[in-house]
Structure formats: C-alpha cells, structure tokens
C-alpha cells in the first residue's frame, strides 16, 4: 500500500471523525443516521492512521506532498 494522504488530509479526517463522535455522545444524532456517520468516522480514522485512501487510487489523486 503506497501512501496517498498528506498531513492536512489526515488532520481534517480526524477532526471530522471527532466531531461525529461528539455529536453522537451529545445525543444530537441518533438512529440510522448516527450509525452511518459512526461507520464513516471509523473509516476516516482508519484511513488517517494508514495514510492510504482506496478511493483516491482509481482517480489517481494524492494529497501527499512531492519530495524534491
């Protein structure tokens, strides 16, 4: 697996995941919407830790800074 996520991308994903968790534990979201968003938050955390997003591959996208 070749990394294709830059630091900013990782941080944004983690912040979104934390925001979803806060909304869930504050009982702002619930039901099916909460489950879908919590799964999405889990995917965001996992991809941030791995530094790899499989959805970027088919379109050739990379937010990783090029080394000089």
Quote the pTM value.
Answer: 0.88
pLDDT in the model for residue 40: 98
pLDDT in the model for residue 58: 92
pLDDT values of the chain reduced to their tens digit, one per residue, 68 residues: 789 999 999 999 999 999 999 999 999 999 999 999 999 999 999 999 999 999 999 998 989 887 77
Distance from C-alpha of 26 to C-alpha of 14, rounded to nearest angstrom? 18
pLDDT in the model for residue 19: 98
Alpha helices in the chain (DSSP H): 7-25, 31-50
Distance from C-alpha of 1 to C-alpha of 51, rounded to nearest angstrom? 9
């Amino acid at each position: 697996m070749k990394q294709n996520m830059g630091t900013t991308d990782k941080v944004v994903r983690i912040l979104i995941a934390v925001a979803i968790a806060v909304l869930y534990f504050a009982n702002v979201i619930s039901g099916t919407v909460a489950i879908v968003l919590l799964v999405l938050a889990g995917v965001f955390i996992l991809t941030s830790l791995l530094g790899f997003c499989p959805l970027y591959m088919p379109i050739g996208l990379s937010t990783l800074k090029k080394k000089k």
